[in-house]
């Protein structure tokens, strides 16, 4: 048995021990890819004959795979034929007749995936793009004794298959998941550091998603994305109670009643000095006026009557609130 000690960032330490599922998610540059590449090489050294597969949802060419990263690692640590590694065009031979292969899930069906049954490690890179179908195909396929499924990803949406699996209410048995960000990476390079700072100033709307591993909450290009993010950054979004002594103002935008009508919206506000507090927001499409009124009645708007502000074309909608 050969062992080699890669230096592991503290954040990944929980992933060193064997586990059926291992996950590392977070923002760009946290060292996720490097960590799993090193762990994979180490596992190949520890377990002669091990077969591993590096997976992406879509892999049109090997250039898109982790092959290059693994090759660079082998070279950096002077691991070669003497240790049982040999790089070929499509695969990398590993110690003890072991093998590392690279594949895209979209090229597989229920039949073809069976070729992976003898594999002891499957590492899914950019796992946020893995479809539910691919995940369902993969899980039962990696079935060898003590086999492991690894996932590294930059979260996109809570509903993505990997997030459902490894960040849901109940984790699968034997799952270890860590969150890693740039600040956890002791080898965070200065070029990325500059990129990160530039992102903070030029694209603050995407910063949390790209660099801190947050879900993509604000769509890029959404009208008010910049203002909303600024409001959040300045602590202007939080929990507020209505002031019972102040008059409430309702700002309405009127929608029609058809299914394709614009939304009917109500902002419930109070003016406190120069501050405008937006307490509640209501939006409904295609509902009758009575539905909007029912919502208004259900709100505790205080003892005083509310002022109602209609848009300039309010009277043409024929609505009287």
Ligand X SMILES: Nc1ncnc2c1ncn2[C@@H]1O[C@H](COP(=O)(O)OP(=O)(O)O)[C@@H](O)[C@H]1O
The DSSP symbol for 139 reads: H
Q: CA triplet 6, 178, 33: central angle to 5 degrees?
A: 50
Sequence-ordered list of residues with C-beta below 8 angstroms from that of 22, at least 6 positions apart, any chain: 15, 148, 149, 150, 151, 175, 176, 177
Query: 116-155: which residues touch ligand X (CB under 6 A)?
Result: none
Nearest distance in Å: CB 137, Mg ion: 23
Determine how β-strand 86-87 pairs with β-strand 263-272: unpaired
Residues near ligand X (CB under 6 A), total: 12
Task: Based on the shown chain and the rule CB under 6 A, indicate whether residue 10 belongs to the binding site for ligand X.
Answer: no
Q: Which of 96, 168, 189, 288 binds ligand X (CB under 6 A)?
A: 189
Nearer to Mg ion, 33 or 203 (CB): 33
100 binds ligand X (CB under 6 A): no
Stretch that binds ligand X, among 31-39, 94-102, 252-260, 310-318 (CB under 6 A): 31-39
Q: Could you say whether residue 77 binds ligand X (CB under 6 A)?
A: no
What is the bridge-based pairing of β-strands 121-124 and 148-153?
A: parallel
CB 77, CB 64: distance < 8 Å: no
* Residue in 16, 91, 179, 188 binding ligand X, rule: CB under 6 A: 188
Contact 33, 82 (CB under 8 A): no
The binding site for Mg ion (CB under 5 A) comprises 33
Comparison of 71 and 253: residue with beta carbon closer to Mg ion: 71
Site for ligand X in 279-308 (CB under 6 A): none
268: CB partners within 8 A, 6+ apart: 242, 248, 249, 250, 278, 279, 280, 281, 282, 299, 301
Q: Quick one: which segment of 27-35, 86-94, 227-235, 293-301 binds ligand X (CB under 6 A)?
A: 27-35
Between CA 97 and CA 83 the distance in angstroms is 11
155 touches which of ligand X, Mg ion, none (CB within 5 to 8 A by kind)?
none
**Interacting residues toward ligand X by CB under 6 A:** 28-34, 38, 185, 187-189
């Amino acid at each position: 048995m050969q062992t080699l000690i890669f230096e592991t960032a503290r954040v990944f330490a929980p992933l060193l021990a064997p586990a059926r599922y291992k996950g590392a998610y977070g923002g760009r540059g946290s060292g996720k890819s490097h960590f799993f590449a090193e762990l994979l090489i180490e596992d190949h050294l520890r377990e002669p004959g091990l077969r591993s597969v590096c997976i992406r949802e879509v892999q049109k060419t090997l250039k898109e795979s982790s092959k290059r990263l693994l090759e660079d690692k082998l070279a950096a640590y002077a691991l070669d034929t003497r240790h049982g590694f040999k790089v070929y065009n499509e695969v990398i031979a590993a110690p003890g007749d072991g093998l590392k292969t690279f594949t895209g899930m979209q090229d597989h069906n229920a039949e073809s995936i069976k070729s992976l049954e003898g594999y002891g490690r499957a590492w899914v890179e950019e796992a946020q793009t893995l479809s539910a179908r691919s995940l369902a195909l993969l899980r039962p396929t990696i079935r060898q004794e003590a086999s492991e499924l690894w996932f590294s990803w930059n979260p996109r949406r809570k509903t993505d298959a990997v997030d459902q699996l490894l960040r849901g209410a109940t984790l699968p048995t034997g799952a270890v998941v860590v969150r890693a960000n740039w600040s956890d990476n002791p080898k965070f390079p200065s070029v990325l550091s500059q990129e990160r700072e530039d992102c903070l100033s030029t694209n603050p709307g995407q910063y949390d998603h790209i660099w801190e591993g947050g879900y993509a909450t604000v769509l890029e290009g959404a009208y008010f994305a910049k203002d909303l993010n600024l409001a959040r950054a300045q602590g202007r979004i939080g929990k507020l109670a209505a002031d019972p002594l102040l008059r409430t103002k309702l700002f309405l935008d009127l929608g029609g009643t058809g299914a394709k009508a614009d939304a009917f919206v109500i902002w419930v506000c109070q003016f406190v000095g120069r501050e405008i507090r937006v307490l509640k927001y209501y939006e409904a499409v295609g509902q009758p006026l009575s539905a909007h009124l029912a919502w208004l009645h259900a709100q505790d708007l205080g003892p005083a009557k509310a002022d109602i502000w209609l848009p300039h074309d309010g009277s043409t909608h024929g609505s009287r609130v």
